[in-house]
Structure 1
Amino acid sequence: MITEGKHVDLNALSRGDPLSVPPTQALRAPQITCDRVHYFYDICKVNGPTLDPTTSTFYTMGTPDPPLVEKIQPYPRKWESLVMSRIKEITLTSSPQSPPCQVKHEAPALVFSAGGYTGNFFHEFNDGFIPLYITVNSMFENQDLVLVISKSRDWWITKSRPRLVLVIRTGNVGRVLLNHKEVKQEAEKVGFEVVVFEPKPSTPLSVAYKLMNSSHAMVGVHGAAMTHTLFLRPGSVFVQVVPLGTQKAAALCYGKPAKAIGVEYMEYRIDAEESSLINKYGKEDKMIKEPMGFEGNNWSYDIMKIYLKEQNVRVDLERFRGYLKEAYEKGIKLLDREWYNAI
């Protein structure tokens, strides 16, 4: 839902002088007005709260009689019939039959099409950036606004994804994430760009720092490599996979410090079925059923060897997917802040 006391602009795409902005007026009901005299573009304005149901129809929140209906193709090559035939038409209507509101924006919206010649570098400037720049600075100067894009390109979405570092260990070292390849695939399906990182003694500290400090999320099984969380930026996400018998150490060594430096901390405590120890001891053994009982004063070298050296992990992908989705939502917020600060 987009609400604004002034207007919600649906195609202010200009090639000439800056567009004039009419003074705000108190209106009894939302109004739809269109200016179709320009050679390069049409422009329609909705004055009042407007519903955008992610379809090609926008609904005003009012019921003027008779109902208002306008149609527009929000692309600034109006004279060129061939390319305009491929631009989706947007419908503006005051029909009372509108879908429910789920997300609310207290800002005006600017709707434009990324169809047509988008993808051609010349046209991206000539038909995209420049008209948008003129419109924003003419009509929305010093304002926040919401860009509503018709025919958003998939490669835009995949080009700028939050980066997740999947920290792994291999060999006979214990706490190996046995299905890390599948975890990587799940993270990519959720929307992350995934970098698999296996730190070694020869890894330059500067390399590790640059990787972590430019990322938005980190996932790894409890172990010394989780110290790399120190290089994450505030607002980044850290998902620590906690094997059996390591809950206290995981929280003390990495969970609390991560929170202290502003990292969003998430803890995935594995179930017995996700531990390789179940194959050796069986699900009824105390090592499996009551791992917390061996922590603290009952911790010994032999116990440590079992939980830290013998145990590997195979996470339940369906359950872990929920954690990845939550991490993605947190990571995308950090990415959005990066974009905003770069403007």
Structure 2
Amino acid sequence: MKMAKKFRPPVEPRSFGSGLIVGCFLVSMTYVLMSKKDIVSCLPSSRSLLLSSSPSWSDATPSSSIVSNRKIQLSGHEKAAEESNLERSEAIDMPDDSSPAASASDVLSEEESSPSTDDKSAGRKPMCDVSGYRLDTCDIAGDVRVIGKNSSSVVLVGTPDTSSTDRNESWQIKPYPRKYDSSAMAKVRPLNLKSLNGDPEAPRCSINHTVPGILFSTGGHCGNCFHDFADVLIPLFQTAIPFRGRVQFIITNHQRWWMNKYRPYLTKLSSYDAIDYDNDDRVHCFDHVIVGLRAERDLMIHPPNGGNYSIMDFVKLTRSAYSLERDRPWTSDQQPGNKPRLLFIARGGTRKFMNLDEIVPMAEQVGFEVVVSEPDFYDVARFAHIVNSCDVMVGVHGAGLTNFLFLPTDAIVIQVVPLGKLDWIATNFYAEPAMGMGLRYLEYNITVEESTLTELYPRDHPVFANPESIHKQGWFKLGNVFLKQQNVKLDVSRFRSVLVKALELLGEKRD
């Protein structure tokens, strides 16, 4: 807080005589005041009045609060970042998203009513928050004009008065929640955001929207199942669900095939056709626009940042979107005579099961009805129903495991972890998200003998002797060796024990 300085007139030299007269006058006044000490002591001081009518500074809360030492749990390429990036000591606390009423306009109105300071911008929330490690977001309220095809701009038009002169802002962001990943962000269109104070050259509205807008990108790593959900669909759910369908999507890097693939989600979250931002030359006007999507962790939602919604709410939305009937897995007491279904996720590229002809008969002997299927790139609904019909899903570490979100609650996920010290990414990408979605999780770490890397490298190669040295060469080297070059040939008898454990878990009674 800035303290006001008392005004002190300049000191000018005076004659000695004048000083003597003034001195005598001050002594006389002091005597008079001291003689009335009792009267003065009965009057409250201005300081005591101030303290009695206002809260103590320790109890005061600013309209835009600051959360200190918020830790961000990282995933994917983030692990390679310096430890100093794992924490943000100051993160702007966003308004509660449990209701559309808690919008940027509410925050701005509170700040405008707060006492003014010497710094006109003090206490005013900026249009954009770029402090996060994972994403940049902008929450803009007022006369907002979105111009896509030729401008790539979002403009907040203010009123031409002196009280708004501190609102001039200019930002450039890419609305995709993986800003630390240069390879992803290279495929995301940058947007220019600025505020204007009654600029007569501000573009005129072509269409006025009566609902808020959410502007986001389907560029980046979209097309990979894991990133479709981790980077767009779950963050979009977090951002859009408080509006209960009354929200307009504006999509940059718009891909028609992607829209068709995930249309069931988009129609559940918005009652309006999405705007193709890159190819629409109209000026769309809103009272409220959010640029960028909320996201804390891959495939997870963490309250309180998630508001009143959890990842289980997304799972429920998924079941509704694809009309998935099963919400609980097989149990022996409910389905006597029927066998639980076990799904092996087949992979067409790398990290394939090389001996399914041996594994499948063994799984059937254990007591499962076995299904082997590969995810369909375009037909999500077909594969979602296959997954939902199963009680156990087995897959080698990779994007295909993301399909576990279609499983019934309490079903079992078995992740086969390839060679290469991949425990951290296996846990962060899939183990914790699976358990967060109410699934039971088992892990099978293969041995050197179960890896096809033995056909490519000698046994004394660092790939086997010192995997950490491969990690130190960066994500792309790690991925090329341990993910792209490797398939698995499971030890049938060793893997059998995992399937027996899964069958036992299914037999246990759950609340």
Larger RCO, structures 1/2 (Cα 8 Å, 6+ apart) = 1
TM-score by length of structure 1 reads: 0.48
TM-score by length of structure 2 reads: 0.33
Query: Rg bigger for which structure?
Result: 2
